[in-house]
Amino acid sequence: MSTYLLEIKGIKKTYSVRGAGRALFSSKERMCAVENMSLGVKEGETYGLVGESGCGKSTTGRAVVGLTKVDSGSILYGDKDLCKLSEKEFRPLRKELQMVFQDALSALNPRRRIGEILEETLAIHGIGTASERREQVMEILQRVGLSEEHYFRFPHELSGGQVQRLGIAGALIIKPRLIVCDEPVSALDVSIQAQILNMLMDLQKELGISLLFISHDIGVVRFISDRVGVMYLGSLMEEAETEQLFAHPLHPYTEALFAAAPDPFIKRRKAAALTGEQPVRTETFQGCAFCTRCPHADEKCRKEAPKLREVEKGHKIACHLHK
């Protein structure tokens, strides 16, 4: 039996290169948003997925909830491979796999009152009678730090922090087993970020749900996660328990990421901070994804992609440096 509630195994997602970008590539080349990406989320844990913007974190999260279809690989949930399910077969699982977006406001109908929006979510999943649904909405509003008075408001009448609370309420109300949180606090002020993160941690403990928490902010990921995966250019570079990773990073990309972090609590190592942009990864890309920016890159790195493997108990990296 798998130790994971959800296990992503070697997924790949490519896009065709259109418009001006096409001139840079041969017409047959496709851009890889995600390549051989693997991770597992255990029951009741928070798995933080961190990396620079555009590294494929959101594509991975969207694939989990069925918003993005991958080209190959599998996403195992219970005895099902989510990648093989049709839209109809996936529908019942939407109740168990929810997502909170960075821009929660754009996902809300501006013409409906908040109470109606949440009640509609319950109705879509066939949960409760009208009066039971109203009761559940009132309860969830309180749980996420809103009040009964917010039931009658429209989404645009809420502050940024309240909108995120509403987004979390919308995911929680149908009692999911796993929530993908995609940059849920990156648009908020630091003080509001702390409130939302603390609330998420409390709710997760209380309800025993699992979180796949996606962020480019390593300070935020360190604060909320039990385990952390570091992603670069579509693939996982390193994975470990939070304390282990932040005390003892092994991958040159993780070291460079920490060296560049403004967070004073992150232990800095003697690594050169990252410079330049992530290159575009196409299907013909060879070798280690980090080789164009890695100070240790050699001939082998340019030819052969390192496999993600366990080098210490629970600590995995994808790098030729570590034997």
Contact residues toward ligand SF4 (CB under 6 A) are 252, 288, 290-291, 294, 296-297, 301, 306, 319-321
State in angstroms the smallest separation of the CB of 236 from ligand SF4. Answer: 12
Quick one: which of 265, 114, 267 has its CA closest to 254? 267
Residue 141 or 294: which CB sits closer to ligand SF4?
Answer: 294
State in angstroms the smallest separation of the CB of 300 from ligand SF4. Answer: 7
Residue 5 or 34: which CB sits closer to ligand SF4?
Answer: 34
Between strands 80-81 and 210-215, the pairing is: unpaired
Quick one: which of 24, 14, 50 has its CA closest to 223? 50
Quick one: which of 227, 220, 198, 219 has its CA closest to 265? 219
Residue 65 or 291: which CB sits closer to ligand SF4?
Answer: 291
Residue 176 or 252: which CB sits closer to ligand SF4?
Answer: 252
Quick one: which of 180, 183, 322 has its CA closest to 254? 322
State in angstroms the smallest separation of the CB of 316 from ligand SF4. Answer: 13
State in angstroms the smallest separation of the CB of 277 from ligand SF4. Answer: 17
Distance CA 242, CA 225 (A): 6
CB atoms within 10 A of CB 259: 16
State in angstroms the smallest separation of the CB of 154 from ligand SF4. Answer: 49
What are the strands, taking DSSP E only, across the chain?
Answer: 6-16, 30-41, 46-50, 72-77, 80-81, 97-100, 178-182, 210-215, 227-232, 235-241, 309-312, 315-317
Residue 35 or 96: which CB sits closer to ligand SF4?
Answer: 35
